[in-house]
Amino acid sequence: MAGLERVNRQLFPLRDISAVAELFRDEIEKSPDPDLSLLSIVVGAVENSLTCNRSPVLREVQGEGEDAAGGDFEIEFHIVDALYSKFRSTILGSVDLSCYGDSKFATRELVKKVSDVIWNSLSRSYYKDRAHLQSIYSYLTGNKLDCFGVALAVVAGCQVLGFNDVHLALSEDHAWVVFGENGAETSEVTWHGKGNEDKRGQPIGTGVGSLSWLYVNGQPVVCDRYMEVASLVSSVNPSFNMTTDIKEVADIQQQLMWLLYDQGHLEKYPMALGNLGDLEEINPTPGRPSCQELFSQAVDASRKYYSNKHVYPYTYQGGYFFRHKMYKEALESWANAADVLREYNYSRDDEELYKELMEIANELIPHIMKAVGSGIDAHSILKDPECFAHLLRLYDGICQWEEGSVTPVLHIGWAKPLVNTIAKFDASVRAQLVIDLQDEQEEEASSMKEERVSVKSGSEESSSGERKSEEQTNDRGDSLNNNNYSKTPDADST
Ligand SMILES: CC1(C)CN=C(N2CCN(c3ncnc4sc(CCF)cc34)CC2)S1
């Protein structure tokens, strides 16, 4: 029975959050196969009516996290019915299933055909990065979708055709599908980035391209139906404009996210946990886990399910600590993010992540240096060797990201803030930098040595009672004399 016959028509017209939540709850709790097009149409209609059809006289509120009054919405059943039927007839009318064999599993050709149907019905030219283009409501009423929306629509289209083996696969900046027995096949179904030829119909490469962050090293979030519902809820966008969110939309998104959280459908979805953390930071729900706990759960999910190959959980967490002036914790989260990067080669497809790291290194950290320089320094960051170690680990991770990549990462724009930042740390802290040289195998000894960096924390220093003995320093000094790390830099030597 298709979604609409199942839906409780008493809920319509949908006029408030509880009605929308009830409809989602029915679909998630009572159906073995929640109807993606129905849910995307409903939540897209609500988002559209509250963010796009706004009276221009609406009070524009400035300032952090201020929400505009969203006013009311009223989603009529016959509108949802008409759109739902339009999507189904578009898909069923464009795909002649007899051309695709009689397997109960989708084929690459079938997936490509559904992607073509969506692709060829999009408006010729529109601003692809605009907000509110992620839902099937947007596709049906405006023939516009963003790159995530195309992927979701393809999965929803395959659901209409009865191919429940086709599922959404998500990296931190791209989406594709898995299909076939045990979801063993993959296919591109949408575009990525600007000015890149789309690779629709092709399997996800296992070659050098798959070493980039864009494909998270073979550790994407592979969704089941419920996680696909989580992705469409997570992609709800409460923005009215650059400075204003519509509170009702954020409230609906937050409630739906908790509904999915309680059913365990965010467990393996770090970015959805991060998004819920952002919503909770702005508007905490009494009795629920704190946003800090949610950011920590996102980190745990990446470590537990994706071999710690996702970067964003640490940047969600670092951003939170930064906003709350917990600068030492922020530096640690960002250093942990950089540790993830080490495994990747930087590619031109990784621009979104590059921008994130640029902001952290060249805006947020200099902001911290200014803040603590002017005395707001709860942890006395500049005297804390562990903070210095986090900073070096962050930069070293970025350097290792660059190593082996065809595209360079760092340039003078990075070096200036770095030098200023290092110079802000106390000379006594910098002097505690200890480089442990560990010889690799004999044959590599001359060319490459693995260097382990540690910064002795004050406590260790005090426990040993004195700095490394002279001969120890001399021993290391000799092997490192071509490396200025070993010298004890005095205050103005850097
Ligand atoms: C720490 C941050 C900079 C804040 N917001 C971030 N994001 C916001 C929400 N994002 C997401 N949230 C849920 N699911 C997905 S699937 C996907 C790849 C394109 F399909 C992106 C994304 C992307 C990342 S990362």
HEC string of 122-185?
CCCCCCCCCCCCCCHHHHHHHCCCCHHHHHHHHHHHHHHCCCCCCEEEECCCCEEEEECHHHCE
Measure the CA–CA gap between 350 and 345, rounded to whole angstroms: 9
Nearest one of 327, 488, 321, 331 to 397, comparing CA atoms: 331
Atom of ligand 1 nearest to the CA of 356: 3
Weakest-pLDDT range from 137-146, 386-395, 446-455: 446-455
Structural tokens at position 98: 């007899």
Taking the centre of ligand 1 as the mean of its atom positions, its distance from the CA of residue 235, in whole angstroms, is 8
HEC string of 347-415?
CHHHHHHHHHHHHHHHHHHHHHHHHHHCCCCCCCHHHCHHHHHHHHHHHHHHHHHHCCCCCCCCCHHHH
Cβ < 6 A, ligand 1 pocket: 148, 170, 173-175, 231, 234, 271-272, 275, 312, 315-316, 319, 356
Give the residue with greater pLDDT, 131 vs 205. Answer: 131
Taking the centre of ligand 1 as the mean of its atom positions, its distance from the CA of residue 172, in whole angstroms, is 6
Predicted pLDDT of residue 373: 80
Weakest-pLDDT range from 199-213, 287-301, 349-363, 443-457: 443-457
Give the model's confidence band at 122: pLDDT under 50 very low, under 70 low, under 90 confident, else very high: very high
* pLDDT tens digits for range 59-96: 444 444 456 655 689 999 999 999 999 999 999 999 99
Give the residue with greater pLDDT, 473 vs 153. Answer: 153
- CB within 8 Å of 79: residues ≥ 6 apart: 45
The pLDDT of residue 493 is above 60: no
Q: Taking the CA atoms of 249, 255, 259 and 261 in sequence, report the sign of the dihedral they define.
A: positive
Structural tokens at position 225: 């139906």
Taking the centre of ligand 1 as the mean of its atom positions, its distance from the CA of residue 274, in whole angstroms, is 9
Measure the CA–CA gap between 453 and 81, rounded to whole angstroms: 62
The pLDDT of residue 379 is above 60: yes
- CB within 8 Å of 308: residues ≥ 6 apart: 302, 340
* pLDDT tens digits for range 314-360: 999 999 999 999 999 999 999 999 999 998 999 999 999 999 999 99
Most confident range (mean pLDDT) of 24-33, 50-59, 426-435 is 24-33
The pLDDT of residue 168 is above 70: yes
Predicted pLDDT of residue 284: 98
The pLDDT of residue 19 is above 90: yes
Percent of the chain with pLDDT over 90: 75
Predicted pLDDT of residue 293: 98
In 10 A of CB 291, how many CB atoms? 23
Measure the CA–CA gap between 254 and 314, rounded to whole angstroms: 21
The pLDDT of residue 488 is above 50: no
- CB within 8 Å of 72: residues ≥ 6 apart: 15
ipTM, two decimals, is: 0.99
Give the model's confidence band at 469: pLDDT under 50 very low, under 70 low, under 90 confident, else very high: very low
Residue matched to tokens 């190959």: 309
Atom of ligand 1 nearest to the CA of 316: 1
Atom of ligand 1 nearest to the CA of 272: 13
Taking the centre of ligand 1 as the mean of its atom positions, its distance from the CA of residue 238, in whole angstroms, is 15
Give the model's confidence band at 435: pLDDT under 50 very low, under 70 low, under 90 confident, else very high: confident
* pLDDT tens digits for range 179-238: 999 999 999 999 999 989 999 999 998 877 777 899 999 999 999 999 999 999 999 999
Predicted pLDDT of residue 294: 99
The pLDDT of residue 471 is above 90: no
Predicted pLDDT of residue 74: 95
If one residue of 229, 275, 354 were mutated to test the ligand 1 pocket, choosing by the most ligand atoms within 8 A of its CB, it would be 275
Long-range contacts of 393-396 (CB under 8 A, 24+ apart): 393/335, 393/338, 393/339, 393/453, 394/331, 394/334, 394/335, 394/337, 394/338, 394/360, 394/361, 395/338, 395/361, 396/338, 396/453
If one residue of 148, 170, 271 were mutated to test the ligand 1 pocket, choosing by the most ligand atoms within 8 A of its CB, it would be 271
Taking the centre of ligand 1 as the mean of its atom positions, its distance from the CA of residue 350, in whole angstroms, is 14
Atom of ligand 1 nearest to the CA of 171: 18
Predicted pLDDT of residue 374: 77
Give the model's confidence band at 387: pLDDT under 50 very low, under 70 low, under 90 confident, else very high: very high
Taking the centre of ligand 1 as the mean of its atom positions, its distance from the CA of residue 271, in whole angstroms, is 6
Average pLDDT, the chain: 87
Q: Are 282 and 47 in contact (CB under 8 A)?
A: no
Which protein residue's CA is at the shortest distance from atom 25 of ligand 1?
312
Taking the centre of ligand 1 as the mean of its atom positions, its distance from the CA of residue 266, in whole angstroms, is 14
Give the model's confidence band at 494: pLDDT under 50 very low, under 70 low, under 90 confident, else very high: very low
Predicted pLDDT of residue 376: 63
Which protein residue's CA is at the shortest distance from atom 11 of ligand 1?
271
Predicted pLDDT of residue 453: 62
Predicted pLDDT of residue 464: 35
Predicted pLDDT of residue 44: 98
Taking the centre of ligand 1 as the mean of its atom positions, its distance from the CA of residue 375, in whole angstroms, is 35
Structural tokens at position 355: 């921008």
Residue matched to tokens 């849910």: 39
Mean pLDDT over 104-125 rounds to: 98
Taking the centre of ligand 1 as the mean of its atom positions, its distance from the CA of residue 77, in whole angstroms, is 31
Mean pLDDT over 358-380 rounds to: 87
If one residue of 135, 154, 172 were mutated to test the ligand 1 pocket, choosing by the most ligand atoms within 8 A of its CB, it would be 172
Predicted pLDDT of residue 70: 57
Which protein residue's CA is at the shortest distance from atom 16 of ligand 1?
170
